[in-house]
Structure 1
């Protein structure tokens, strides 16, 4: 089978927004320009370099992988996983006839060193979670990709609204970076993060780095943030909550909805706006409906990671 072809066994069966059967791994334009091949287009071996806790939470794992070349392979490949795309992990588990497949979206990739990192939230009793929790450095896993349909066009400035839920903030980081790292990209970003409370805001330091750019603003929506003032109707103006925020941080103690989205409007002309939503399938559907109401957008302007 050609390396970018897929069959039904490549599907994990979890109803992914960007199913591998609908969005098969695509040839890399960067690889073609460089005259090299993208090593992950078909299932390839990646060695785990580290399996670490994140934010002191044992259920949150930062996993770091590097490509393992075969003995007879020339070192002429690269690893190209565009922002907003995911890779499929195929694991052979003892006692299971069929391999277990799960999609993961990298938040960091090294094009030349052929390395990538993912943030994983382990689910108690989950087969893949139990497997990943026990992985030790140097173990080898199989991944293929990249899978997805979002491509950023830096030649056309636009308003970009990125909505992330919980750990799904991780794959949105490279989406932001690809805009901010290019000086002539005039696109403006609103990064809206929906979490339980401040303790569940991941990569907070990275968000503060983004906040230094003129065309980036973020807002934390804290649905269950408790405040030391004890007031039932305490809001984001409370001095007790403000003390927990960093300079240039904005937070609101409520859920993100159409009204809140409308308040984040960048431009009066929303015709060219893009909305990118990362989170569970239920969250994605709900936020898509809210975005359509808030910005009067068609589905073609909304991307679900």
Structure 2
């Protein structure tokens, strides 16, 4: 007996302790899909073919994977793909030597509603079975995904201050969160985008951040705890001219770890009707940043969202 397409069972959970577990945040029709009057193809496990598998900025361990819906040429297809910003999809893959399918969650940083395509950024882990599988994928191979899974929905009815904190490759799913605000001329929300990376080389999508920095309501800051500077001074800080020469237009960087004091320095002055924090990264990072964000920004815990 087949379950209804929106239902899930225990086998749909990947077991990795995701913040937004599929058992708690079941895939459901989105408002956008309902307005379009069409079926969202990814509500149940659907077949997507790999369109490209490329290294990001020459780093073979960081892959940009592009997928497109694998519709049968003889099948009538009146559907769309809707993965709202801040939501992830579950990949189900059958690997040689594994008795049960492996499940992993990934958050798209780009989607096409009509063409039914999406892109994810993945950092491969040495020895990881799923990482090895993804690294070896060739164009036109078919994988199965299900979603969207998540609980964050942007409310455009009132201007707010949105603090977005991202770690490493987890910057990718925060990009559509920023874009949905900046692309709406009627949205007066202000964004503070705080990015934690080892060094400048590991700041992903710098060109996209440069585009965001042209907007009046967006500010970003890079936290580069392991950035080496050519000046050789033990007292070198973010004001060092050697580091400044490596930064781009309106880029700000600090050679320290992001902590509660640093977070507090980004508080937007004034009385905002609503302030929220969105945190993307490793679960350990998310838990630590959640506590510090609540303290630094004076937020109720329900105003902190973990991707």
> For the residues of structure 1 that align with 2:272 and 2:186, how far apart are their CA atoms?
21
Cα offset, 1:224, TM superposition: 0.7
Q: How many angstroms apart in 2 are the aligned matches of 1:246 and 1:94? A: 45
Superposition map of 1:40-189 within 5 A: 40-71=42-73, 73-189=75-191
- Once residues 73 and 144 of structure 1 are traced to their aligned partners in structure 2, the CA distance between those partners, rounded to angstroms, is 20
1:21 to 23, 26, 38: 23
Secondary structure at the aligned position of 1:178 is classed as helix
- Match for residue 251 of structure 1 among 250, 253, 259: 253
Which of 173, 190, 193 in structure 2 is aligned with 1:191? 193
Tell me, what secondary structure is at the counterpart of 1:106?
A: coil
Gaps of 5+ in 1: none
CA RMSD after TM alignment: 0.9
Rounded to whole Å, the distance in 2 between the matches of 1:121 and 1:101 is: 16
Instruction: Please report how far the alpha carbon of residue 267 of structure 1 lies from its aligned counterpart in structure 2 after TM superposition.
Output: 3.0
Deviation at residue 271 of structure 1 after TM alignment = 6.2
| Contact kept in structure 2, 1:45 and 1:142, CA below 8 Å | yes
Would you say the 8 A contact 1:270–1:295 is kept in 2?
no
Q: How far did 1:242 drift? A: 0.4
Q: Distance in 2 between the 1:52 and 1:154 partners?
A: 35
How far residue 48 of structure 1 moved from its aligned partner, in angstroms, is: 0.2
Is the 2:164–2:193 contact (alpha carbons within 8 Å) kept by the matching residues of 1?
yes
Instruction: Say which of 223, 226, 240 aligns to 1:224.
Output: 226
Aligned-pair distance for 1:268? 3.5
Q: Does the CA-based 8 Å contact 1:159-1:267 persist in structure 2?
A: no
Q: 1:261 aligns with which of 249, 260, 263?
A: 263
Question: Secondary structure, in 3 states, of the residue corresponding to 2:174?
Answer: helix
**Aligned with 1:7 (options 6, 9, 13):** 9
Q: Secondary structure at the match of 2:262?
A: helix
| Count of residues in correspondence between the two structures | 305
Alignment partners' CA distance in 2, 1:290 and 1:48: 39
2:64/2:120 contact within 8 Å kept:
yes
Q: Secondary structure at the match of 1:282?
A: helix
Q: What is the aligned partner in structure 1 of residue 303 from structure 2?
A: 301
SS in 2 for 1:264: coil
After TM superposition, where is structure 1 displaced by more than 4 Å over at least 4 residues in a row? Answer: none
Does the 8 Å CA contact 2:160/2:273 hold for their aligned counterparts? no
Give TM-score, length-normalised by structure 1.
Answer: 0.98
Taking a change above 3 Å as real, the CA distance of residues 172 and 27 of structure 1, as seen in their structure-2 partners, is same
8 Å contact kept, 2:159–2:273: no
Partner of 2:77, secondary structure, is coil
- Quote how far apart the aligned CAs of 1:107 are: 0.2
Cα deviation, residue 270, structure 1: 5.5
